[in-house]
Structure 1
Amino acid sequence: MKRYPFLPLLLIGALLLPCSLLLAWGRWGHQHIDRAAIFALPEGMRAFFFNHADFITEESVLPDVRKYTINDRAEPDRHYIDLEAYGKDPFKTLPHDWTAAKKKYGEKMLHKNGILPWYVPEMMEKLTRAFRERDKSNILFIAADLGHYLGDATQPLHTTLNYDGQLSDQKGIHAFFESQLPERFGAAYNFHVSPARYLDDPVKEIWNILQESHALVDTVLLAEKRLAAQFPASRKYVTDASGKPVKNSYGQPVHSLEYAKAYHDALQGAIEKLLRRAVQATADYWYTAWVNAGKPRLDSLDAAALTARNKRFLKKEYRRWQKQGKLWGLHAGAEF
C-alpha cells in the first residue's frame, strides 16, 4: 500500500525499540494517537500524511527511544512537568513564556521539574517553519514528535511528582495505567474526533491540556488505591509456578486480567477519553502549523503515482475511522 521513503530510519528505530518506554503512553498509545490524527486533517493534508502513515506511526515512539536507548540528555525533561513543585496553584504562578519562567524560577529548577509546556511551542515553531519551507523530511519528523509530546501532556501521571505512585505506595501504576490497560482493552476504543481545528493560541492550549490532565491525577491514583485494598496480592498479579509475580521484559509487574479489568472499569472510560484528547490535540497542532505557514500545497512533495495508489486505501480507512473510530492495519507494539 504505502511506500517507505525513510525505511533505513525505521529499521534503526525497530532495533532500538526494546528499551523501556516507561514515561509515555506506551508504544500502543502513541502509535494510535499519531495514526488517528491523520484522519482528522483536511483533505489535502490528509492525503500527504496518509502517504507516510507507517513512518509517522513508528516515529511516534522515537522521542522515548532517544531518551532510554541513545541516552540523549536533553530528552527526558521534555516529557513531563511536576506541577506540584510550583505551589498550590501552578497554573496561576507559572509563566507561559520560557524566558519569563527562567527569570522567575531559574533554568535548573525548570529542567528538574520538566519543560513539556515550553517545549511544545518550540516544536510548533519548527513544524510551522518546515511547512513554510516545504521540507518534507522535517515536516514528518517534527509532526510525529510533536504528537508524542502532546500525547504525554494528556497523561495525568506526566503532570505530577507522584508520577509512578512512589509517594503513595503504588509503585508501578504508571506503566499499568498507560500501557497495560490500553493494550488489553484498547481494541474497543473509539478514536474518532472532530475535524482539526485552528488554534488561536497554541501556547495557551498546551496549558489548558495540562490543566485538564492534572485534574485527573487524584482520580487515577485513588481508583487504584481503593481497588488494591479489596484484592489480595495473589489476585492482583499474574504469578509463575513458584508464586512470584510475572514481569514483562522491562521488569514491570503484569497485573491479572481480573485486577486490570476492575481498574479499567473504575476509571469509567478515562483512558479512552484521554487518548482521544491527544488525537484531537495532535491534529489541531498539525493543522494550525500548516495554516500559519500559509497553507502550502503538499501534494507535489510526493510522487503523483504514490498518492494515486493510496487513494483507494485512504478512502476505505477514512470511512472506517469516521463510522467506527477504528484504525485499520495498525499493528502497534506491545509492552505487556
Structure 2
Amino acid sequence: MFKLILPLLLVSSSAFAWGGRGHDAICRAAVFLVKEEGLKDYLRNKPQMMGHLCNIPDFYWKSLGGDAAKHGNPAHFIDIEVIGLKVADIPTDYKKIVTDYTGKENKFRNDGVTIKDIPTEFGSAWWRADQFVNRIGALNKEFAAAKPPANFKEEQDENLPFNKLAYQMAVDMGLMGHFVGDISQPFHTTADYDGWATGHGGIHAFFEDAVVSEFDGDLDWLVLKQARTIKNPSFLKPATVIEKMKALSVISNTEVPKLFKLDPVTKPSEVKKEHGMEIRTKAERKPASVAFKTMKPIIVNDMARGALLLANLWDEAYVKAGKPKIGAYKSYKYPFTVDFVMPDYYSIPAAEAKTEKK
C-alpha cells in the first residue's frame, strides 16, 4: 500500500505529461505532418532530434530547481477548476486572468482559501506555446539579413549568423512541442490531475507512463496514422495560437471523466487529514496491461491531435519567420541540453527574470 504524507498546502500539478515516450511520439509524428515544403525539407531527417527537444522541459528543466522550477513547472498545465470556469469560457488574455482572479476563492479547493498566484496555481500552458511561436517569428528580420551557407565549410560553421538562427529556430520548435503535447494529455487540463478528488489517486502516472509503456514499438506510427485520418479538426480553425490551444483543451478535458471510468480501480484512493497533514493512500488498481485494452484508442487519438496541432503551429511559426531556407543548415551541432527560457507573458521580478539556468 502506497501512502503520501503532505502538509496542507496548495499543491499544483507538476507531473510529467505523457512521460518521455509519449512526448517523443507526438513530436516525431508532427515532423511528418508539416505542410510548408521548406520546413518539411529540414525536418524530415530530424524526428529523433525533435523528440529529444520536446522532452527537455521535463527531463532537464525540471531538474534545475530554483527559478526555473518556480516559473517553469506551472507552465505545463491549465487547472481550470481553480478559477471556476469551463475551458471554453476562460479568457485568452493572461494578464486579465491574473488581475481578475488573484485574491479570489480557489473554486477547486472550495474551502475558503484564496488564489495567491495565478501562474503557479492555475498554470499557463497555452501562453507558453504561444511564447515559442512568437520567439521564432521574431527571427524574421535577422533571417532576411543572413545568407544561407554556400559550401560545406559554411554549413559546419556554428558562428555563421544563418546557422545560429536556424539552430535557435529548431530548438524553439522542439521546446514548443512539449507544451502542445501537455495540453493533448487530458489530465493536464484539470486541477484533479492525479485523481485524488475522485478516488483515483495515482492515475496520472498510471495513464501516461504505465499504460503508454504497454505499446509495442509502433507507437510513433500509430499516432501518425491516426493523425492522417483526422479531417478538418476544430482545434485548427481558431485564428490565434492561444485560441487553438484552448480549443484542443476543450476536447482533452472532456475525456477526463471517460478515463476515470476506464481506470481499473479495485480500491479507491483515500485522503485523510491529521494534525495539519494530508495522508494520501493511492488507489489500488489492476495492471496497466488491463487498462491498455480500453485506453489505447484514447491515447492514440489524444497524441494524434497533439501532433496535428504541433505541426500546424510549426508551420505558422515558420511562415512568421519568413520561410527561411533552413534546409541549407546541415551542421552536426546537437542540442543535448538547452538553457531555460523564462515565461514572458506575466510579470516576473527582475532578479528572477535575469536568472539563466544551463
TM-score higher than 0.5 here?
yes
Say whether residues 1:26 and 2:14 are aligned partners: no
Give unpaired runs (5+ residues) of structure 1: 1-20, 233-251, 307-336
- 1:263 is aligned, of 276, 284, 291, to 291
State the AA in 1 paired with 2:96. Answer: A
Q: Which moved more, 1:137-146 or 1:148-157?
A: 137-146
- 1:105 is aligned, of 85, 88, 101, to 101
Over 3 Å counting, the alpha-carbon distance change for 1:151 and 1:291 in structure 2 is same
CA drift of 1:173 comes to 1.0
State the AA in 2 paired with 1:294. Answer: G
Say whether residues 1:139 and 2:169 are aligned partners: yes
Say whether residues 1:219 and 2:272 are aligned partners: no
Partner of 1:114 in structure 2? Answer: 123
1:130, 1:136 within 8 Å by CA — same for their partners in 2?
no
Partner of 1:208 in structure 2? Answer: 247
Say whether residues 1:273 and 2:312 are aligned partners: no
Partner of 1:177 in structure 2? Answer: 207
Greater strand fraction, Structure 1 or Structure 2: 2
* Counterpart Cα distance in 1 of 2:33 and 2:256: 28
CA drift of 1:67 comes to 4.3
Q: Alpha carbon RMSD of aligned pairs, Å? A: 3.0
Give me the TM-score of the superposition, normalised by structure 2: 0.65
* Counterpart Cα distance in 1 of 2:45 and 2:55: 19
CA drift of 1:261 comes to 3.0
The alignment-based identity, stated in percent, is: 23
Deviations 1:125-176 (A, max 9, x none): 1122246634112111111111100000011111111111122232221111
1:199, 1:284 within 8 Å by CA — same for their partners in 2?
no
State the AA in 1 paired with 2:179. Answer: Y
Give unpaired runs (5+ residues) of structure 2: 1-13, 103-115, 144-164, 269-281, 333-358
1:159, 1:210 within 8 Å by CA — same for their partners in 2?
yes
Partner of 2:137 in structure 1? Answer: 128
- 1:47 is aligned, of 18, 41, 47, to 41
Over 3 Å counting, the alpha-carbon distance change for 1:253 and 1:91 in structure 2 is closer
* Counterpart Cα distance in 2 of 1:118 and 1:188: 32
1:130, 1:138 within 8 Å by CA — same for their partners in 2?
no
* Counterpart Cα distance in 1 of 2:239 and 2:119: 26
Greater helix fraction, Structure 1 or Structure 2: 1
1:44, 1:298 within 8 Å by CA — same for their partners in 2?
yes
SS in 2 for 1:282: helix
Partner of 2:80 in structure 1? Answer: 83
* Counterpart Cα distance in 1 of 2:31 and 2:139: 18
CA drift of 1:89 comes to 2.6
Over 3 Å counting, the alpha-carbon distance change for 1:82 and 1:280 in structure 2 is same
Give me the TM-score of the superposition, normalised by structure 1: 0.69
2:31, 2:40 within 8 Å by CA — same for their partners in 1?
yes
CA drift of 1:44 comes to 2.3
State the AA in 2 paired with 1:54. Answer: Q
Over 3 Å counting, the alpha-carbon distance change for 1:86 and 1:301 in structure 2 is same
Partner of 1:69 in structure 2? Answer: 63
CA drift of 1:51 comes to 4.2
* Counterpart Cα distance in 1 of 2:28 and 2:140: 19
State the AA in 2 paired with 1:204. Answer: E
Over 3 Å counting, the alpha-carbon distance change for 1:131 and 1:145 in structure 2 is farther
* Counterpart Cα distance in 2 of 1:90 and 1:49: 33
CA drift of 1:188 comes to 4.8
2:27, 2:177 within 8 Å by CA — same for their partners in 1?
yes
State the AA in 1 paired with 2:316. Answer: T
Aligned positions of 1:280-319 closer than 5 A: 280-302=308-330
SS in 1 for 2:198: coil
Number of aligned pairs?
A: 260
State the AA in 2 paired with 1:191. Answer: V
State the AA in 2 paired with 1:278. Answer: G
